[in-house]
Amino acid sequence: MEEQAGIKRVYTGSIVEATYLMELLQENGIEAMLRNTLEESIIAGWASGAPEDSALIYVTENHYEQALNIIQEYQKENIE
């Protein structure tokens, strides 16, 4: 899914981390959509991509900055 008007991607990474980030966004009142491109390709009959970058999280434009800040803060805390 390419970014469309009104929808922006805020995360690309592992499905495990993406699942946690989805919960974190929802706790902050942000509705988001999660795509698992690896699972989608397997269902289609072939495996494409790698587990470490198969999850994509999208939010609406009006939540983009807030979602990006939440994700960046989470990543910053987990790097240190």
- pLDDT for position 40: 60
Task: Give me the sign of the Cα torsion angle 22, 23, 26, 28.
Answer: negative
pLDDT above 50: residue 44: yes
Superfamily assignment of 7-79 in CATH?
Answer: Hypothetical protein rpa1041 (3.30.70.1530)
Domain ranges of the chain: 7-79
pLDDT above 50: residue 73: yes
Q: How many CB atoms are located within 10 Å of the residue 23 CB?
A: 11
Q: Does the predicted model carry a pTM greater than 0.85?
A: no
